[in-house]
Amino acid sequence: MRNLDIKKLAKVTAYDAKVDARLIGFVLNKLGRRQLLAYLRYLKAIANRKTVRVVSEEPISESQKRNITRRFPDKEVIFEQKPIGDGIKIQINDTIIDFSMHSYIDTTIERLKEEI
């Protein structure tokens, strides 16, 4: 199976939230290791395009969640709590917007170094 065919298969799989058992059987039985890895890579890329991840160490209030979700109406917004320090990180596809205190301090130090 060519790479383009594997990409099409991943698109068909990701089109609907429900995955047909026959499709799973086909993928597991017919694809080799390399093809299966390519298939999973394509699925992950498709899922990332449809998802926004918001990470914060502290719980995010419901009003903040609604405000963030409203900004991304065509995407699924996933909120996570992880130890990142004060602030928030937002991941959209491959872009990470870092509003954490650690990032702010690092950026400030770099700017001071440039000015000196």
79 and 39 fall within a common domain: no
DSSP output for 65-85: HHHHHHH-TTSEEEEEE----
21 and 60 fall within a common domain: no
75 and 109 fall within a common domain: yes
pTM of the model: 0.62
The pLDDT, as a whole number, for residue 18 is 66
What percent of the chain stands above pLDDT 90? 20
44 and 66 fall within a common domain: no
Count of the separate structural domains present in the chain: 2
11 and 61 fall within a common domain: no
54 and 110 fall within a common domain: yes
- pLDDT, tens only, 39-67: 888 888 887 788 899 999 889 899 999 99
106 and 59 fall within a common domain: yes
* Residues whose CB is less than 8 angstroms from the CB of residue 114 and which lie 6 or more positions away in sequence, other chains included: none
- Burial call 55-73: b when 16+ CB within 10 Å, e when fewer: bbeeebeeeeeeebeeeee
110 and 69 fall within a common domain: yes
| Position 94 confidence tier, pLDDT thresholds 50, 70, 90 | confident
Examine the pLDDT at 81 and tell me if it is beyond 80: yes
The pLDDT, as a whole number, for residue 58 is 87
Cα 84 from Cα 77, distance rounded (Å): 19
Which residue range forms the structural domain that includes residue 109?
A: 50-115
